[in-house]
Structure 1
């Protein structure tokens, strides 16, 4: 059996290879839109004496908000002396889990495409290749569901923590009295919203790809062969 590299682009014209290429692209969009985020919310503090001050809430991936300072050092705001104050919340585990799954899928898609385009003759001549491909693809479908759901909840927590209510909970000066605190300028989170959409989209794409990979396994070929044999046995003999 020849095991050398043989470049053949025809798998890209078939669902097995084309869908894997789509998976590679959507994985890039997924971890890029989440892992590359950095934004700033402008917090306006309106004091009871009519004066106002502003704070910058700078946050970024992996959204370890409890380590993001709203106030650094000793500062006086609305006649209140405040020490270093951090934001509330932490979405690190959800965001890193999501990006980690996306990176794994990106790398696996590249390896799978290399096999499809250069070693398809080996892939189809063995039982191990298609079965391993199917099992791992099925696992990744499940991981996309879990990580996308976790990140959707984590993103909502980030929005809550960086909104007016979350900021008021973090700053003592905003609690009680006649001082009003609210976020007057929000960071653009369009990319983060798209990352959640891409996460669920990846789940459906990988689920569809699992079917095409399953057709390459011996389990499908045996089922197809047994169905064909039963069909031939049911044909009545000619008189």
Structure 2
């Protein structure tokens, strides 16, 4: 059997190859929307009446991988409305969920490229062996499960991020100041998190795409072929001849 590289573009017309292209593209967008994010919220500290009182502003900056407990909200000793706050960090840490999500996306991106190389250059080997389709199916199914796990984890991490940088989270972080009767703390400018929301949606979309692709790959394995070739062929019952 010839095992050398043979470029053949015809698999690009087949669902097996088309779905790998889609998976490659969605994986790129998924880790791009999450891994390249940076933003900041503007926090206003109102002394007395919000209309006529004085206002102090702070910036809550955060970026991937969202280690909020390392992001400074108050860099040094500062006085707000006659109340002093020391160096203060944001509360929470979404780095493990975000890095898990991006890591799965990168793995899927790389595997899709390898699979496309095999489909376009070594399809004659892929079709003639049992090992290739079975390995492809097992890896594809495992990555579909990983998309479910990492997308759910990142959705939870994003909730933590939104809380920590929102009104309630900031008030809890600056409790020494914001809990005073004459002080009001409020986020007046929010960073756009549309790309992070999109990344979660893309994560679940990847789940369905990879699960569907697992079925396409399964049909290339001997398990699927044996399911049908191993079925007994119905025979016509013989009618006894008349005596």
Between 74-83 and 166-175, report the one with greater CA deviation. 74-83
Q: Cα–Cα, structure 1 residues 237 and 212, in superposed 2: closer, same or farther, change >3 Å?
A: farther
State the aligned residue count. 236
Structure 1: 4+ residue segments shifted above 6 A = none
Deviation at 1:12, TM superposition (A): 1.2
Distance (whole Å) between structure 2 residues aligned to residue 118 and residue 236 of structure 1: 49
Among 125, 128, 135, the residue aligned to 1:125:
128
**RMSD, aligned α-carbons:** 1.4
Distance (whole Å) between structure 1 residues aligned to residue 139 and residue 197 of structure 2: 27
Which residue is 2:147 aligned to?
144
Deviation at 1:48, TM superposition (A): 2.2
Distance (whole Å) between structure 2 residues aligned to residue 93 and residue 176 of structure 1: 34
Q: Verify: 1:36 aligned to 2:36, yes or no.
A: yes
Q: Verify: 1:226 aligned to 2:230, yes or no.
A: yes
Q: Verify: 1:100 aligned to 2:84, yes or no.
A: no
Distance (whole Å) between structure 1 residues aligned to residue 167 and residue 84 of structure 2: 21
Partner SS state of residue 219, structure 1: helix
Among 16, 38, 53, the residue aligned to 2:56:
53
Distance (whole Å) between structure 2 residues aligned to residue 234 and residue 53 of structure 1: 88
Partner SS state of residue 233, structure 1: coil
Partner SS state of residue 230, structure 2: helix
Deviation at 1:113, TM superposition (A): 0.4
Deviation at 1:186, TM superposition (A): 0.4
Deviation at 1:235, TM superposition (A): 4.3
Unmatched 5+ residue regions in structure 2?
A: none
Distance (whole Å) between structure 1 residues aligned to residue 13 and residue 236 of structure 2: 36
TM-score, scaled relative to structure 2: 0.94
Deviation at 1:233, TM superposition (A): 3.1
Q: Cα–Cα, structure 1 residues 236 and 14, in superposed 2: closer, same or farther, change >3 Å?
A: farther
Map Cα deviations across residues 47-102 of structure 1 (whole Å, 9 max, x no partner): 12711111011100111101100011222221122211000111111111111000
Which residue is 1:12 aligned to?
12
Deviation at 1:237, TM superposition (A): 6.6
**Which is higher, the Rg of structure 1 or of structure 2?**
2
Distance (whole Å) between structure 2 residues aligned to residue 23 and residue 237 of structure 1: 54
Deviation at 1:27, TM superposition (A): 0.3
Distance (whole Å) between structure 2 residues aligned to residue 141 and residue 37 of structure 1: 25
Which residue is 1:26 aligned to?
26
